[in-house]
Amino acid sequence: MKIYINNFNIDVLSSIMKSLSEYFVSSETYIQIYSEDGIYQIDDNSIKKQNVIDKEIEIFKEYHEDFTLIADQSYYALEKVSCLPSEHIANNVKRCFFTPDKNSALKLVIEGSILENNSLKKNKDTYGIHPYDIYIEVVKDINMNDELVKKEIIVFLSLLN
């Protein structure tokens, strides 16, 4: 599940990443391919087609202070394939994971396009990416109103102020 912050100003992601360095856990990179046939993902050892499994969203108005959250249960079912459509657009993607507690089931994720070498020197505090998305990722189903879950989400929201 992904939890999005409604009306979050994406333009501040670069400056936010600088302040999150102590919470950085890991990152992953892959190539995302867009074609008329669908969306594909290429990682170190495979090509996978991303088949969307669309689910309902749930909106939590004023979840904490002025923050409204959108919980999206949708996900991609990955199907291994052996070839790509000849006409496509490719994007080198990096996902950076942050968490104030390494044992947490929740992770703050910032995604972005990987910068070229000359841009890396100017933007070393952004983990080598031009960020374009932010969300909280949850591995399993959770109750958003559970007191412990809410505390963890509020920690993430406070890091973004």
CB 97 within 8 A of CB 136: no
Cα 109 from Cα 41, distance rounded (Å)? 18
* pTM, two decimal places: 0.88
List pLDDT tens digits, range 49-98: 999 999 999 999 999 888 999 999 999 999 999 999 999 999 999 999 99
- Tell which wins on pLDDT, 121 or 128: 128
d(CA 143, CA 72): 13
Token pair 């892959």 is found at 30
Domain ranges of the chain: 2-29+58-73+93-159
The answer, yes or no, to whether residue 30 has pLDDT greater than 80, is: yes
Mean of the per-residue pLDDT values of the chain = 89
- Pair of tokens at residue 86: 């000849």
3-class DSSP assignment, residue 87? coil
